[in-house]
Homo-oligomer: A and B are copies of this chain.
Amino acid sequence: MSAKIKDVAKKAGVSIATVSRVINNVPLVNPQTKEKVLQAVKETGYRPNAIARSLKLQKTDTIGVLIYDITKPYYTQISRGIQDILSMEGYNIILCNGDSNPDKEENAMDLFFQKQCDGIIYIGKFFPDNIRQKLDYMNTPTVICSSKDETGTYPSVVNSDYNSSYEMVKYINDLGHKKIGFINAKEDKSYCAKMRGNGVYSAFRDLKIDINDDWIAYGDYTMYSGYECAKMILAKKEKPSVIICGNDEMAIGAKKAIIEEGLKVPDDISLVGLNSLEMGRWAVPSITSVNNYMYDLGAVSARMLSKMISKEVVVEKEVIISHEIVKGESVKKIK
List the interface of chain A (C-beta within 8 A of B): 2, 45, 47-52, 54-55, 60, 62, 69-71, 73, 76-77, 79-80, 83-84, 87, 92-97, 110-111, 113-116, 137-139, 223, 227, 252-253, 255-256, 259, 278-279, 282-284
Contact = CB atoms under 8 A, between A and B. Distances in A.
A295 B52 CA distance: 35
A110 B55 contact: no
B2 A139 contact: yes
Given A51-B115, A93-B96, 6 more contacts: A71-B77, A71-B80, A92-B111, A94-B95, A223-B282, A252-B282
**Count of chain copies:** 2
A55 B113 CA distance: 17
A71 B76 contact: yes
Contacts of A259: 284
16 contacts: A2-B138, A49-B114, A50-B114, A50-B116, A70-B76, A70-B79, A70-B83, A73-B73, A76-B76, A80-B97, A83-B95, A83-B96, A92-B111, A92-B115, A253-B282, A256-B284
A61 to B, nearest CB: 9
A279 to B, nearest CB: 5
A77 to B, nearest CB: 7
Contacts of A93: 94-96
Contacts of A52: 55
A51 B54 contact: yes
A307 to B, nearest CB: 23
Nearest to A259: B284
Nearest to A115: B50
Nearest to A255: B284
A2 B116 CA distance: 11
B92 A92 contact: no
A115 to B, nearest CB: 5
A47 B94 contact: no
A116 B252 contact: no
B80 A70 contact: yes
Contacts of A83: 70, 95-97
A87 B96 contact: yes
Contact of A110 (B47, B69, B73, B113): B47
B60 A51 contact: yes
Nearest to A265: B284
A223 B113 contact: no
A302 B95 CA distance: 15
